[in-house]
Amino acid sequence: AVAERMNVFLVSANLKAPTIRGGMFTGPINVDISRSEWRAATMKSNWDKMTTPFRITVHHTAEPFSSLSKAAACAEVKHIQNQHMNERSPSGWADIGYHFLIDRAGNVIAGRPLNAQGAHASGSNNIGNIGICLLGNFVAQPNRGRSYAVAQAPAAAQLTSLTSLVDRLCVNYTINSTNVYGHKELKSTDCPGPAIS
């Protein structure tokens, strides 16, 4: 039903219309840190089913993060989930907005389940869109204070894991590389920063 309602917008944007495929996405997308490992809260009921993925969007958290510790990464992801579920709107989002996150050590972290539409690219941009977020602040934001004034560079391990994850997702869901975006290509934002294109 969502695909039918959104088709007019997808056609005008020259995007492939998504289709329903079984309602649950599975496949060999291995993660280094599971939801249980970072002690994810249970997803709320206010989520939409994901249509067949046909695009991927890459983000940064826009928060300084430099630790290589798995425990620190788990705490950061838990913090992001709490913000998304409890601070983003009066009722909060259903879960963390991203499907995958990548820490500074290159660990791929399970986010929102792939059968649930993400909340990372604004409105209809989330349809059929797998969200990947790298931990760190890759855009200088001096108006937010000293710790934000200088942009971090993505860690080499993050970029390696990002490339590998995107490649696996593209193969699994037959996503063309032209449908892999930085967030700034879909919305007026600097995310994920100039170092990731």
CB atoms within 10 A of CB 150: 12
Is residue 58 within 8 Å of residue 129, measured between CB atoms? no
Q: Is 136 left (phi over 0), alpha (psi -120 to 50) or beta?
A: left
DSSP state, residue 128: T
Q: Are strands 108-110 and 100-102 parallel, antiparallel or unpaired?
A: antiparallel
Considering only CA atoms, which of 111, 106, 109, 100 is closest in space to residue 161?
106
**pLDDT band at residue 182 using 50, 70 and 90 as cut-offs:** very high
Place of tokens 């290589």: 68
d(CA 32, CA 22): 26
In this structure, the dihedral spanned by the alpha carbons of residues 123, 124, 127 and 132, taken in order and rounded to 10 degrees, is -50
Is residue 78 within 8 Å of residue 38, measured between CB atoms? yes
Share of the chain above pLDDT 70, in %: 85
The per-residue pLDDT for 196 is 83
Q: What is the mean pLDDT of residues 174-185?
A: 94
Q: What is the mean pLDDT of residues 58-81?
A: 97
Residues in CB range of 36: below 8 A, 6 or more apart? none
Confidence check: pLDDT of 195 > 50: yes
Q: What is the mean pLDDT of residues 47-55?
A: 94
pLDDT in tens, 77-131: 999 999 999 987 777 899 999 999 999 999 999 999 999 999 999 999 999 999 9
Q: What is the mean pLDDT of the chain?
A: 87
**Half-sphere CA count of 106, side-chain side, radius 13 A:** 9
The per-residue pLDDT for 127 is 96
Confidence check: pLDDT of 1 > 50: no
